[in-house]
Homo-oligomer: A and B are copies of this chain.
Amino acid sequence: MTAEAVVAELAQKARKAGRTLSTSTSAERKAALEFIAQAIESSSAEILTANERDMASARRENMHPQMQDRLLLTPERIAGIASGARQVAALNDPLGRTLRESVLPNGLELKQISVPFGVIGMVYEARPNVTVDAAVILLASGNAALLRGSSTAHHSNEIFVNVMKKALEKTNISPEVIQLVPSADRATTKALLTARGLVDLVIPRGSAALIRMVVDEATVPTIETGAGVCHVYIDEFADIAKALPILINSKTHRPSVCNAAETLLVHKSVAPTFLPMALKALKDAGVILHSDATAQKVAEKFTIESTLATESNWSTEYGILEMNVAVVDSLDAAIDHIAQYGTKHTEAIVTENKENAARFIALSDCAAVMVNTSTRFTDGEQMGFGAEIGISNQKLHARGPMGLEAMTTTTWIVTGDGQIRS
């Protein structure tokens, strides 16, 4: 069978099974998630065995230690995954919400309600927890799931899917709503991305390269996640006492994630006071610095190690302790810089001036604007969503952290008593 045929068959199975989800009650979906949590807990030993097979291959192939750590499951991590399923079960049901409602002059009753997408594909890398996290969020939002993980996590993904399917056998929801897409061959990813009419939405989760590939290949609708070249702008009206901790937290708290900052922009009028202490604090925190000409002079004056930033530095998402620094002439110049190099993820301004904050909000063109706080707060859990399937970096459908509601679409229901158009 070709990859297209394999994916088509899985998608059709998932869609048909999805009818049992579309007609399920909120209580049934919540019970299914509890069964899944229990099944994961009671299958911990088998899950660890399967994961050890993936880990053994990873060690044999000298996988990067950081990636090995992402692949690794432990009893504690498995317990955490099960408890994640319970947390999702405890969230408000995102389906059947009435979003708009009216009665037309001709007596027609108009209602816009939230409904599932149908079949959602996830494309992700070697993190087996995503298999459960994604399946659980999609189930809770009434969607059938086509899970295309990494071949390096194959055994872990397979056991998780089998355990979840077995748990669904206890419910009225067909176990076929969860499908693992074979990962041995890269062609299945392409097939998933071009399965128009069979797959309603694909969400890639992973590296910038993965997401770029998805955007290039996809003919089904997609939601891009993740890429984050985030800026911290210190305005001329900044409270410097706030600015320094915000900067350090934004860059160093967890540099590997998308909401970490990559570039510091400083208004020229506060640069003389702020830059020396900022550069020193970053350096003390172990941050490698790339500065524009003005900032570089400050660094040299205070003998703080820094290199002159190159064009490519400004658009790099480092993911490690490395940061760009530039001095700007005005708030609008900061906006220009962000427009040129940003990825429309999160932008922070530190200012005590409300008009400047409003102008920054109006023009920074991103998923989340932080006013006097750290870029690290663009996060589903921090924002109180309870669970997050990813952070949308695009403007279509959902923007920013995506919880259960973002995994629903809408339908209009028009109820009449025989009305026709005249």
Contacts and interface: CB of A to CB of B under 8 A. Distances in A.
B365 A420 contact: no
Interface string A396-422: 110111000000011111111111110
A414 B221 contact: no
Given A396-B221, A412-B368, A22 B376 contact: no
A372 interface: yes
Contact of A246 (B245, B246, B397, B420): B420
The dominant DSSP class at the A interface is mixed
A421 B215 contact: no
A23 B356 CA distance: 12
Contacts of A396: 201, 221, 223, 396-397, 409
Q: Which of A359, A382, A411, A415 has the most CB of B within 10 A?
A: A411
A292 interface: no
Interface in A305-322: none
Contacts of A409: 395-396, 399
Given A373-B108, A418-B241, A413 B361 contact: yes
A400 B419 contact: no
B223 A421 contact: no
Nearest to A253: B421
A411 B376 contact: no
Contact of A384 (B102, B249, B363, B384): B102
Nearest to A245: B420
A366 to B, nearest CB: 7
13 contacts: A102-B384, A196-B215, A239-B418, A241-B418, A367-B411, A368-B413, A370-B416, A372-B415, A374-B421, A378-B412, A397-B397, A400-B410, A400-B412
Interface of A: 15, 19, 22-23, 102, 104, 108, 110, 112, 115, 117-118, 196, 200-201, 215-216, 219, 221, 223, 239, 241-242, 245-246, 248-249, 253, 339, 357, 359, 361-363, 365-374, 376-378, 382-384, 394-397, 399-401, 409-421
Which 8 interchain pairs have the tightest Cβ spacing? Answer: A373-B416, A242-B418, A249-B420, A395-B409, A368-B412, A397-B397, A376-B421, A221-B396
